[in-house]
Chain A
Amino acid sequence: MTITDWLVLSFTLIGIVIYGLYKSRTTKNLEGYFLSNRSLPWYLVLLSIMGTQASAITFLSAPGQAYTDGMRFIQYYFGLPLAMVVICITFVPIFNKLKVYTAYEFLEKRFDSKTRTLTSFLFLLQRGLSTGISIYAPSIILSSLFGWDIFWTNIIMGGLLIIYTVSGGAKAVAYTQQVQLIIVLMAMFLAGYMVVHLMPEGVGFYDALHISGKLGKLNIITPGTDQSGFNWNDRYNMWSGIIGGFFLALSYFGTDQSQVGRYLTAQNNTESRLGLLINGLVKIPLQFFILLVGVLVFSFYQYKAAPISFNSSLIADAKSSVYKDSVNALQQRYDDNNKKKQQLARAYTNALNNGREDSLEHLVAEIKILNETSNQYRDQFKAISSRISNKDTNDTNYIFLGFVKEYLPPGLKGLLIAIVFLAAWGSIAAALNSLAACTMLDFHQRISTGEKPLSEYHISKWYTLAWGLFCIFVAQFANKLGQSLIEAVNVLGSLFYGVILGIFLIAFYVKKVGGHATFWAALIVECFILLLFFNENIPLVSFLPDISFLWLNAIGALGVVLVGLILQMTFGVRNEKEINIFIDNSL
């Protein structure tokens, strides 16, 4: 990195912290700290929702995903717009009418205190640990690529934002997220432009799309079927996106306090709803653009030499290990293969531009074979790397930043590194604010008595600080988790999200099920989910089938509803409060 990169990086990060502190000035009480006095307009709510969802890994992982697997990942978001409408009709007016601070506060009004406590506890556990991993995941990528010390990268990634999050609460979070998201999107647009600009002479945007399309990377719509019918193991297709994505978005935006806390900051229902609805409309085009950058990077590496691994630290480790001779030989074969591929890619573009359609098919077939050979060499390298260290050998998340490091000019490189921090800060700040809100509202306030709002406001700041330090602490130990960190976050979420969604589904839609039945159903199903996931390690339940973690969401949600109904019908007695909330707030 040059001095210009360091200046751009430092100026951007310090600027955001100062801006966050400046916006903190007017926050003086608990409602201001956690809900920004319910004063924000829809466009700030929108940017805050988007900034919370889009973490650093979103901007690092999505282009890498498009590079390796094409654009079909976009289908994952197809259920999101419909989920936004359902949340606007059902969740938003009830949360706002009851003037709750946290989503789980509603559960006490609908059920009882123990159901609220259990749900809030599950949220704190899941969100606290996953935020720690969200700090570590981008830090380890930056640390590996630029040789930074992981301890200090974690501290800066998770630490600087604590200054304005502690000081200004939800308002500082929302205003900084607005600036962060604008900078991030502008930088991504610049990066996309630069990828095309850096293509060899005579290769333009259309040529780049053409070659990537022919090589299967513009597979935006996939039906999920093969010769034997619908493939249930296919993770990203149109139907899993619409149906699975709908439930996932309903769960995340409707029951996760880090998102609920964003739209509760709106002036009224209309502003909350507009923020959510517009988010539903812009999310897919935005994700399309981010994935497109990844496809362009793929095209770029058809004409230029791609490294055998985008994680340069793995290459350095391998070349200084006992396997160095076999690695060097592998590298030589890989480079020779790449040279042939580059020549054919140029020939393909020349044929395309000169209207020689007849030779295109033959050239594409040859490039495909060379790409497959490249992937085989890359796999061989990963196998060697996994013998050398316990580092993650999957380099998907390193692809985009690897390109940035290698090819972008000074200044822009610093800006692109800055957006990794900004994107991380946006989601981490919202998480810390929501963790502190749940700790204060769902636990502290109910246990302690006789305190004035002012002291609660100050204690909330300490809770934010404590959660920030806890998350950094988790980040410092996250390397013990092993290889795929993204999967670790998803697995962690899937262990709890389904049960939390199930509780809310009963609360909103199954009015005859009461608090006791819901509480015990949630506990039973949560234990079952944990047993199902860890079945290999527990001899007594080893007969349970191995199920992909993504299915745990659906099993958890539907399981709580089903067990809740059975318990209610068998033992159930409901108290009047549970009925009255819907009579009082019939919507």
Chain B
Amino acid sequence: MKYNDDYKVPLFKTWKTWYIFVIAFLFLLIIAFGLITKYFS
């Protein structure tokens, strides 16, 4: 440990933003996969 960064959130300001980002990422991925499934079925 070079410095204390217990509270530092990487890339975003808060963990809440990470939650929103990951949920949005999953949502978009599921939509995209759903469209592929529907298009080729």
Contact = CB atoms under 8 A, between A and B. Distances in A.
Contact of B33 (A74, A280, A281): A74
A82 to B, nearest CB: 6
A281 B23 CA distance: 11
Contact of A96 (B1, B15, B33, B40): B1
Contact of A277 (B1, B3, B10): B10
Interface in A96-121: 96-97, 99
B33 A270 contact: no
Given A81-B26, A210-B40, A284-B29, A220 B34 contact: yes
Interface in A209-237: 209-210, 212-214, 216, 218-221
Contact of A270 (B8, B22, B26): B8
A467 to B, nearest CB: 28
A273 interface: yes
Contacts, number: 75
A406 B36 CA distance: 30
Contacts of A81: 22, 25-26
Interface string A265-276: 001111001100
A82 B40 CA distance: 29
Contact of A85 (B3, B6, B22, B30): B22
A277 B37 contact: no
A97 B6 CA distance: 8
Contact of A78 (B2, B6, B19, B26): B26
Contacts of A23: none
Contacts of B26: 78, 81-82, 242
A269 B5 contact: yes
A74 B36 CA distance: 13
A74 B29 CA distance: 11
A268 B25 contact: no
Contacts of A99: 1
A572 interface: no
B10 A270 contact: yes
B23 A82 contact: yes
The secondary structure that dominates the A interface is: helix
A93 B37 contact: no
Contacts of A322: none
A82 B15 CA distance: 11
Contacts of B40: 209-210, 212-214, 218
Given A210-B40, A220-B36, A268 B30 contact: no
A85 B19 contact: yes
A220 B8 contact: no
Interface residues of A, number: 37
A287 to B, nearest CB: 11
B34 to A, nearest CB: 5
A587 B15 CA distance: 13
A96 B2 CA distance: 11
A575 to B, nearest CB: 25
Contacts of A219: 37, 41
Interface string B12-41: 000100110011011001100110110111
Nearest to A81: B22
Contacts of B39: 213
Contact of B41 (A82, A213, A268): A213
Contact of A218 (B1, B3, B10, B41): B41
A223 to B, nearest CB: 10
Given A78-B26, A82-B23, A277-B18, A218 B6 contact: no
Contacts of A269: 1, 5-6, 8
A238 interface: yes
Q: Which 3 A-B pairs have the closest CB atoms?
A: A213-B40, A220-B33, A218-B40
Given A85-B22, A269-B8, 12 more contacts: A74-B33, A81-B22, A85-B15, A93-B6, A96-B1, A214-B40, A220-B36, A267-B2, A270-B8, A273-B10, A274-B10, A288-B33
Interface of B: 1-3, 5-8, 10-11, 15, 18-19, 22-23, 25-26, 29-30, 33-34, 36-37, 39-41
25 contacts: A81-B25, A82-B22, A82-B23, A82-B26, A85-B19, A93-B6, A96-B6, A212-B40, A214-B41, A216-B41, A218-B36, A219-B37, A220-B36, A220-B37, A221-B34, A238-B30, A242-B26, A268-B3, A269-B1, A270-B5, A277-B18, A280-B22, A288-B33, A587-B6, A587-B7
